[in-house]
A and B are shown apart, each in its own frame.
Chain A
Amino acid sequence: MSAAAVDCAGVWKFYGDYPALRDISLTVPPGRCLALIGRNGAGKTTLLRMLAGYSKPGRGQVTIFGKSPRETDTRQRIGFIGHGIAVYDELSAIENLRLFARLYGLPDPERSASEWLERTGLERVRDGLVREFSRGMRQRLAVARAFLHGPSLLLLDEPFTALDDRAIAVLQTVLRDALAAGRTVVMSTHQLREAMDLATNVALLNHGRLAFQGERTEEMVKDPGWVYAQYGES
Chain B
Amino acid sequence: MRFIRQVMVITAKDLRAEMRTKEAINASFAFAIVVLLILSFAFEPTEDTTREISGGLLWIVFLFAGTLILNRSFARELPNDCLDALIAAPVPGAALFLGKGLANFVLIFAVEIVALPVFGIFYNVRWARQFWALILVMVLGTWGLTAIGTVFGALTVNIRLREVMLPLLVYPIMIPILLGAMKLSTELVAGQPISGDLMVWLKLLFGFDIIFTALSLVLMDTVLLG
Interface set of A (CB-CB < 8 Å, partner B)? 52-56, 70, 72-73, 75-76, 78, 80, 82-91, 95, 99-100, 102-105, 129, 145
Which of B13-21, B141-149, B155-163 contacts the other chain?
Answer: B13-21
- Whether A90 pairs with B20 at a CB distance below 8 angstroms is yes
Would A103 and B20 be within 8 Å (CB), given that A86-B82, A87-B82 are in contact?
no
Residues of B contacting A: mostly: helix
Nearest CB in chain B: distance from A126 CB, A: 16
Question: What is the CA–CA distance of A105 and B95 in the complex, to the nearest angstrom?
Answer: 13
Interface set of B (CB-CB < 8 Å, partner A)? 2, 5-6, 9-10, 13, 16-17, 20-21, 79-82, 84-92, 225-226
Give me 18 A-to-B residue pairs in the complex whose CB atoms sit less than 8 angstroms apart, sorted by A's number: A53-B87, A53-B225, A54-B87, A54-B225, A55-B226, A70-B225, A78-B88, A80-B84, A83-B81, A84-B84, A86-B81, A86-B85, A90-B17, A90-B20, A91-B20, A102-B6, A103-B9, A103-B86
What residues of B have a CB within 8 angstroms of the CB of A55 in the complex? 225-226
Question: What is the CA–CA distance of A129 and B17 in the complex, to the nearest angstrom?
Answer: 11
What residues of A have a CB within 8 angstroms of the CB of B87 in the complex? 53-54
Contact of B80 among A52, A53, A89, A95 (CB under 8 A): A89
Interface centre among B82, B89, B91 (most CB of A within 10 A): B89
Q: Which residue of B lies closest to A87 (CB)?
A: B80
Q: Which residue of A lies closest to B99 (CB)?
A: A103
- Whether A76 pairs with B9 at a CB distance below 8 angstroms is no
Contact of A72 among B16, B84, B92 (CB under 8 A): B92
Would A75 and B89 be within 8 Å (CB), given that A84-B84, A87-B82 are in contact?
yes
Question: What is the CA–CA distance of A95 and B84 in the complex, to the nearest angstrom?
Answer: 18
Question: What is the CA–CA distance of A84 and B85 in the complex, to the nearest angstrom?
Answer: 10
- Whether B9 pairs with A85 at a CB distance below 8 angstroms is no
Q: Which residue of A lies closest to B224 (CB)?
A: A54
Question: What is the CA–CA distance of A82 and B85 in the complex, to the nearest angstrom?
Answer: 9
Question: What is the CA–CA distance of A75 and B81 in the complex, to the nearest angstrom?
Answer: 17
Nearest CB in chain A: distance from B3 CB, A: 10
Contact of A99 among B9, B79, B90 (CB under 8 A): B9
What residues of B have a CB within 8 angstroms of the CB of A95 in the complex? 16
Question: What is the CA–CA distance of A149 and B10 in the complex, to the nearest angstrom?
Answer: 18
Q: Across the A-B interface, give the 7 residue pairs with the lowest CB-CB distance, nearest first.
A: A84-B81, A86-B85, A75-B90, A90-B17, A90-B20, A103-B89, A76-B90
What residues of A have a CB within 8 angstroms of the CB of B20 in the complex? 90-91, 129
